[in-house]
Structure 1
């Protein structure tokens, strides 16, 4: 099997040296042939090659656990940080690897101290986990008055000047802002923000920035030295192709002494890297496959080609589905579209109950899935583009949605239990 995977990679490179994208790449992944994965963004998908490497690391650990945990894995993780730091252009000493974005957000928000007159700002489009963590710290560490949400609508979300003006209005009213939390690429709706401009704007006012870049690394070019955030995190398993789960956490050097992992273990009071590295006995294999995922990407194509294919496919697929549904995409401006797009659902889906029934039917009856959400009084779905997808996949799912809605019209709509645990 391993030889077959390697030969497949080499064959792809020989036959398709520039744009080997689309269904020809599906054999390199382990996806069910009957499953149309237009929701790659939620959980990602690792190539077979990466999964083979995962098993090699696990076997190495089993052969000699003492050597693995006391020596080998530490060396391997240091090499990984060096390699990943070059990919995102930062100092490896400012980078640590965690399980997921939830671990990073919790570590930062539960480490920071606020004076009684200081506040934290965030936007209504923040990911649900971020909102809940902010709610938790507002009751356990701070006060509810110290955590303030700023409402964005379909205009402010795709106009950086309007967004900053609205944020500044809030800052002027409350004064002492310690930290602002915002997305690089938000989840629902999926919008690519101009965080370089935003970071500079807030830094000029002495406000720390925490960037939730869960959907960024592997989806767009990421240059942390250029962006210069105070805190930045990104799930690597979503778009970079490593085995789930893993997340990079960047903390500016002069702030590292303030930040601690949510688990206290033997690295406590040592270096920033050591404190986050040793959090008890665990399987580091998923982390280590980040290196193999980077190798896989180089075998397939250059980074710019991967970014461009997924971006263009997301845009074209959004336009296609919107036309099929007689609706529209949330934005038509390329500047705010990454590898995901948002399409307004057909007009029949006008309640949360109907939306919930639709997405339950998609996953239970049609073996596909669309994240759906309400934003600014409209109902949308989010699609993800990926190198193994083609425009025909989105046409198929678009028709499935229309057929499902047609059946829903002729049958009573029964209220169903909301799924509280879907990741987007």
Structure 2
């Protein structure tokens, strides 16, 4: 049975110049019974999250969010830290962190000694790349749809080390076979030039457009060629099933705050024991770093000694920051276990519902807009929680074929969605057209996506009338 708590009053004061605006939201909170669960798409489940009633959260994939029970766990960790700072940070926190590591390791079927936490996937990618010692002739392979911050990381590495890079170009939609063949050609090209393909970076699911990548095949291809595989699974854990023991990548980083319902920032960094010797430093370098022997006096470490591996200890304390998002992860895992859908529960229910919703939402919105979903002939791009829908806009008429103007129109649409429609939908100009990325989630229903389709239709009509150019 569901039970009802007293009304919760949230008072948020916002100051604009000399004016003070007071917003009052009143939520009738429904608490869930772990024995009966919460069905996907139900009001009971939606009410566990902290949304403004006037806001539709249609872009979960960018920054994620978390439910009230996880917020409570977050605040409890923070309160424990503030109650006894030294006792908590030096002694209690490492134990709580181990519990969180055990929880996430179990979820992805990885040995607990291979998993640590970093704030986000970008930090994880940087941590790996900046630990690799590159020599003349070493090549970093990456794909055209790499996340922008990671491509800039590669650029900086190539500016400051002996490494060079090779981007594998293509335009979606492409088949999985075509993408893997492009990778093989790139490897052959590098080797034919007498160079060494040292490491390859690729996604599990591309950010924009939001499409699934045949990462399993690419990990295998890297293994066959002796290339280090660095998997950017920013959209990974909580989104698609993971078995890291079976996949066996050389490095993998996955945001937990996007799809697993942990607070920001929290990401899993997986490094199998065979490669942990390569990751000598965190980012930034902190007390866990072990310098090469020089014969000098050891550098003082003010933290308590530990019997854990050097790799685990290295990432346990990386400067003084709020690590409560990490220790909140077990609460997120427990919350997810109570979610149900059509007789399924936990991860199976969540992933089944969201992927089914993404496919249906894509069809519904394309019907409203009379356009199409971005998909390949095999139908593999949409095997995730995203659907990419083309907007009914003429790029030649509106942007004259200029990418810069097209991007400005995309920015105008994004701003209008936030300012006038109280929502946000990610948008990209790709392959000569504007596409929106629909992001399915357990607290959304098809009614939300029908509203989204009609809203996008209205905004596109405004763009066609020239509003975005004013």
- Fold match (TM-score > 0.5): yes
2:351 equivalent in structure 1: 307
Work out whether 1:163 is the aligned partner of 2:179: yes
Query: Does structure 1 conserve the Cα–Cα contact (< 8 Å) formed by 2:210 and 2:437?
Result: yes
TM-score, normalisation: structure 2? 0.83
> Which digits, 9 at most, give the CA deviation of each residue in 1:257-286, with x for residues without a partner?
111212111111170111111112221111
Q: Which has the larger radius of gyration?
A: 2
1:336 equivalent in structure 2: 381
SS of 1:335 mapped into structure 2: coil
Query: Does structure 2 conserve the Cα–Cα contact (< 8 Å) formed by 1:76 and 1:288?
Result: yes
Query: Does structure 2 conserve the Cα–Cα contact (< 8 Å) formed by 1:325 and 1:345?
Result: yes
Q: 1:291 aligns with which of 330, 334, 347?
A: 330
- 1:138 to partner: Cα distance: 1.0
Partners of 2:181 and 2:127 in 1: CA distance: 30
Q: Which has the higher helix share?
A: 1
Work out whether 1:112 is the aligned partner of 2:132: yes
1:152 equivalent in structure 2: 170
Work out whether 1:262 is the aligned partner of 2:273: no
Unmatched segments (≥5 aa) in structure 1 = 416-424
Q: 1:373 aligns with which of 428, 431, 434?
A: 428
Q: 2:459 aligns with which of 404, 409, 418?
A: 404
SS of 2:269 mapped into structure 1: strand
Query: Does structure 1 conserve the Cα–Cα contact (< 8 Å) formed by 2:58 and 2:439?
Result: yes
Single out whichever of 402-411 and 277-286 deviates more from structure 2: 402-411
List, as ranges, runs of 4+ consecutive aligned residues in structure 1 with deviation greater than 6 Å: none
Q: Which has the higher strand share?
A: 2
Work out whether 1:10 is the aligned partner of 2:32: yes
Unmatched segments (≥5 aa) in structure 2 = 7-28, 291-308, 340-344, 399-405
Query: Does structure 1 conserve the Cα–Cα contact (< 8 Å) formed by 2:287 and 2:314?
Result: yes
Which structure has more relative contact order (CA 8 Å, sep 6+)? It is 1
Work out whether 1:414 is the aligned partner of 2:469: yes
Partners of 2:408 and 2:102 in 1: CA distance: 48
- 1:121 to partner: Cα distance: 0.5
Work out whether 1:199 is the aligned partner of 2:219: yes
Q: 1:172 aligns with which of 181, 188, 196?
A: 188
- 1:153 to partner: Cα distance: 1.7
SS of 1:380 mapped into structure 2: strand
Partners of 1:10 and 1:165 in 2: CA distance: 49
2:92 equivalent in structure 1: 72
Aligned residues: 407
Work out whether 1:271 is the aligned partner of 2:314: no
Query: Does structure 1 conserve the Cα–Cα contact (< 8 Å) formed by 2:30 and 2:44?
Result: no
TM-score, normalisation: structure 1? 0.91
- 1:97 to partner: Cα distance: 0.5
Single out whichever of 268-277 and 209-218 deviates more from structure 2: 268-277
SS of 2:249 mapped into structure 1: coil
2:370 equivalent in structure 1: 326
Partners of 1:78 and 1:256 in 2: CA distance: 18
Query: Does structure 2 conserve the Cα–Cα contact (< 8 Å) formed by 1:355 and 1:372?
Result: yes
Single out whichever of 43-52 and 278-287 deviates more from structure 2: 278-287
